Amino acid sequence: MTLAGESFAASLMAIPGMQRVPTRKAELFILKNFLSPAECDGLIAQIEKQRRPSTIADANGDNAFRTSETCDLDHADPLVMALDGRLSAVSGIDHAYGEPLQGQRYEVGQEFKAHTDYFEPDGADFARYCSVSGQRTWTFMVYLNTVPAGGATRFLELDKMVQPERGKLLAWNNRQPDGRVNPETIHHALKVRKGLKYVITRWYRERPWG
C-alpha cells in the first residue's frame, strides 16, 4: 500500500481500462464499469433510505452552494464493505486513511458549485477538520447511474467535463508533486437537467481517519 497523497499514476495505469486525462495540471483518472449495475442499484437503494441535506464546511454565505442530499453509508453492510475493499485495492491506499464512504443524490436543479475537495490551509476551519487526520489527499468518486441530462463534473481549470455514467470511477490527486494543495482541481457538479444523479465518494487523508 502507498501512503495517502502519494502519486501512483504508474500503478493506476496498470489497471486494465484505466484512462488518464491528458493534462499536466493534475492527476485525473477514469475507469469505466468499475461497479456492476447490480452493485450500483444496491447502493442507490441505501442512499434513498438514509439521505439527508448535504452540508459544507464554508459556503461563503451562499445557501444554494450545495443543494444535494447525502447518505452516510453503513460500513457493516456487505456491499459497502466490498466497495471499501475494492477502492483500497484500486487506489493502493489503506482503507484506514479513508473518510467514511458517502453517497450523494441530486434532483433536477440541484448542484454543488465550483469547489475543491481539500480544506484551505489558511481557512478558519482548517484546524477543526484537519487537526487529527490531516488534509484530504485523493478523491475517488463512482457514478451510480447514467443521468439523462446534466449532472456532469466539470473541472474548470483542466477544460474537462466528465459525464455521469453508471459504474464509472473518477479519481484525482488533490495535491501537487511538492505536497501542496492543487487549486487546478477545482470542479463543479453541474445541475441535473433531467432525472436523478447518484454518486459515491471516498476522500482519503494524510493520516488514518479517527
Distance of CA 191 to the CA centre of its chain: 17
Tens digits of residue pLDDT in 13-32: 999 999 999 999 999 999 99
What is d(CA 2, CA 194) in angstroms, rounded to the nearest whole number?
40
pLDDT given at position 199: 98
pLDDT given at position 168: 98
pLDDT given at position 7: 67
What is d(CA 63, CA 8) in angstroms, rounded to the nearest whole number?
37
pLDDT given at position 68: 94
pLDDT given at position 182: 97
Judge whether 200 and 101 are in contact, CB under 8 Å. Answer: yes
Q: Which CATH code for domain 9-205? A: 2.60.120.620
pLDDT given at position 47: 97
- Below-70 pLDDT ranges, the chain: 1-7, 57-61
pLDDT given at position 6: 62
Instruction: Identify the residue whose cell numbers are 459525464.
Output: 163
Three cell numbers, residue 11: 500503478
Residue-wise DSSP of 93-153? B-GGGBPPPEEEEE-BT--EEEE-SSPPTTSTTHHHHHTTT--EEEEEEEE-S--SEE--E
What is d(CA 150, CA 137) in angstroms, rounded to the nearest whole number?
27
Domain ranges, ordered by start, for the chain: 9-205
